[in-house]
Structure 1
Amino acid sequence: MAKYQILFDTVRAEQKFNVDIDEQETLDATLDEILFELRERGDYLKGEGQPQVVWNGMSLDFSVPLPQQGVRGNDILRVSTIVLNG
């Protein structure tokens, strides 16, 4: 299991957490749980829309495990919202 530094763009300020994610898990499987824990702490993502996770300026694919996208343990991921047109 790898530990990642995740920065959340919340309504109060940017919040940093270290999060353990199994190498075979996808963001589809883990992000909802992580965001639930964030809300339990009283923090909410800023804005409305779908969450997005960015690493090195690139939006990550929620259906592919992080190591398969080149993300390594201790890398910094940024979570914010993106409004989808549709």
Structure 2
Amino acid sequence: MIGSQSIIEVIWEGRNHALHWEDSNPRQPVRDMLQKLQQDLGIKLIMGRNNALAIIAVLDWKNTDHVVQDLQSLVVAKAI
């Protein structure tokens, strides 16, 4: 969990945000994810700006090993 959200939700909506951050009116799931991160973790995110680095920081992805480890754990969890 990342705050009150599943890691899957943060990764997926974070991906959507990273691809469409310049959209001044993002889709509701992206807005919800960003707002929950702000509320849960007390971080500042700005609509219409690229918040990808902040999202990577809350995922604690400091290197590719961290990314791969999280993604592998999701695949294993999905298979169970």
The answer to which structure has the higher helix fraction is: 2
Q: Is the TM-score greater than 0.5?
A: no
TM-score computed with the length of structure 2 as normaliser:
0.30
**Higher relative contact order (Cα pairs below 8 Å, separated by 6+ residues):** 1
